[in-house]
Amino acid sequence: MYKKRMLFIILSFVTISLAFSGCAKKSVKIDKAKVEKIVENGVGKDKKFDDALDLAFRDALKKVVVGIIGEGSEKANKDKLKSYMYGISESFILSYEITDKVKADKDTIVYIRAVLNKSKVEESLDTIGIEIPEEIVEKDYSESPYAGLINEALDNLTYLVYFEPEKKKIEDEYARLCVNRVNNYLANQGYEYIDLQRINEIKEEYFMLYEETQGTVSVVQLIAQALNADVYMVVDGIVEDAGSEAGMHFASASIDLKAFESATGRGLGTETGYSGKLGVASGMDAAKRKGVEVAVEKAIGPVVEISRNYMMKAFEKGIRYEVVVQGIDNFSMLRVFTDVVRNSGNFRSLKEVSAAEGQAKYYVYYMGRKGELIDDVLSDLQGEEGFENFNVLISRGNAVIFGIEE
């Protein structure tokens, strides 16, 4: 009798244990199902492999953080992030693969593709008091009555590609190569861009202005605004000598492309391209150049797509045209001009960018084509005193310059 009772107690205990065990396993599965994942690339460089891998984890995590809170907030909170998150980057990574490992002199460069726990990243940001912007529900712009107009405006965007002269990590030679490779891509896709030679013609003037602002405004943004670009891209990166062996020269490149809206300097998107270790027989410089070309090729498509998607959302509030008026010093005449613009049927808003002797610049948000805006302005100014010889002097991309014809 005693043995039967003990056997019953043991079986009951085992049954209860298994029941709790089953519940625990089920709970874990539910928790895992709720985890939101995100895939990101990372690169790290250090003398020891493990340290380079840790830096690659940190690089991938930083990109996820920037994607959640924005680049400005990430920079403003860099000390807090470094103390509470970046130091334990691996804890946010669910899995990863090493896509390449390159030996460069005494250093090792590790490239990874990691799956990160986005839910845990967001929880950690909230815990340390960093605000996460409210997520905007995506709108189907294809249903907009202005979809055709917006797509046309997107195709007419003018791009400017350059590098920050005072803040870049990449050597000038490879920075210029990056610019030219991006411009080649834009040309092949049929997009309008501003040639590097044109930038070089005016850059000194804007370097001086940049220094006067003590670096508070990007010199690339200043040049982009001066040359009527809608979107500007900043290139940077690292090009590494990975040694030579059996007549082959090896190099690798990591190239960052960042896109911005010229009018506001607002970041549109960032993409990093990795070349991995590449070898050529014709010399180390040729190997480095090949690395740059491959890395740019991997980054440019995604960053252009990201910038176009952002500009599509912005254009829903009106297509932004840069309108310059030259040769008019009389304030009352400028007021007549802006009143005409505001009274046009497709007008949305107007912002004065600058006003100096003989020239005024505006951003006009108008839900119509540039030709329609020009027609509205010129037809409504007919008969106005002082505007008898007023006409279009230059029209390019989404920019138009009006003035008094000689």
Residue 215 pLDDT > 60, yes or no?
no
Q: Which helix (H) or strand (E) holds 342?
A: helix 331-343
Which one has a higher pLDDT value, 16 or 380? Answer: 380
Q: Which two tokens stand for residue 150?
A: 């917006």
Q: How far apart are CA 60 and CA 55, in angstroms?
A: 9
Query: Are the folds of 34-127 and 319-404 the same?
Result: no
Hey, what's the torsion of the CAs at 147, 66, 320, 220, to 10 degrees?
A: -140
3-state secondary structure of 353: strand
Q: Which helix (H) or strand (E) holds 363?
A: strand 359-366
> Which stretch, 174-183, 225-234, 310-319, has highest mean pLDDT?
174-183
Residue 314 pLDDT > 90, yes or no?
no
Average the pLDDT over 86-93 and give the result.
Answer: 95
Residue 237 pLDDT > 60, yes or no?
yes
What pLDDT score does 11 carry? 43
Residue 6 pLDDT > 60, yes or no?
no
Which one has a higher pLDDT value, 180 or 75? Answer: 180
Confidence category of residue 404, pLDDT binned at 50, 70, 90: confident
Q: What residue ranges do the domains of the chain occupy?
A: 34-127, 141-315, 319-404
Pick left, alpha or beta for residue 195 (phi over 0 → left; psi -120 to 50 → alpha; otherwise beta): beta
pLDDT above 90 as % of the chain: 45
Amino acid occupying residue 281: A
Q: Are 24 and 11 in contact (CB under 8 A)?
A: no
Q: Are 385 and 404 in contact (CB under 8 A)?
A: no
Query: For the domain 34-127, what is the CATH superfamily, name and number?
Result: Acetamidase/Formamidase-like domains (3.10.28.20)
How many other CB atoms are there within 10 angstroms of residue 234's CB atom? 24
Average the pLDDT over 166-188 and give the result.
Answer: 93
Hey, what's the torsion of the CAs at 29, 32, 33, 38, to 10 degrees?
A: -160
Confidence category of residue 8, pLDDT binned at 50, 70, 90: very low
**Distance spanning both ends of the chain, measured CA to CA:** 119
Please state the length of the chain.
Answer: 406
Q: Which fold has domain 319-404?
A: Alpha-Beta Plaits (3.30.70)
Average the pLDDT over 367-374 and give the result.
Answer: 91
Q: How far apart are CA 242 and CA 254, in angstroms?
A: 13
Q: How far apart are CA 255 and CA 169, in angstroms?
A: 10
When mean pLDDT is compared across 136-140, 147-151, 237-241, 263-267, the lowest value belongs to 136-140
Of 3.30.420.40, 3.90.550.10, 3.40.50.10610, 3.30.950.10, the CATH number of 141-315 is 3.40.50.10610
Confidence category of residue 395, pLDDT binned at 50, 70, 90: confident
Amino acid occupying residue 223: I
- pTM score, whole prediction: 0.70
pLDDT (tens digit per residue) in 101-112: 888 778 888 889
Q: How far apart are CA 354 and CA 93, in angstroms?
A: 48
pLDDT (tens digit per residue) in 42-82: 988 899 999 999 999 999 999 999 889 988 889 899 999 99
Mean pLDDT (the chain) is 84
Pick left, alpha or beta for residue 115 (phi over 0 → left; psi -120 to 50 → alpha; otherwise beta): beta
When mean pLDDT is compared across 92-96, 208-212, 285-289, the lowest value belongs to 208-212
Confidence category of residue 239, pLDDT binned at 50, 70, 90: very high
Q: Which helix (H) or strand (E) holds 252?
A: strand 248-261
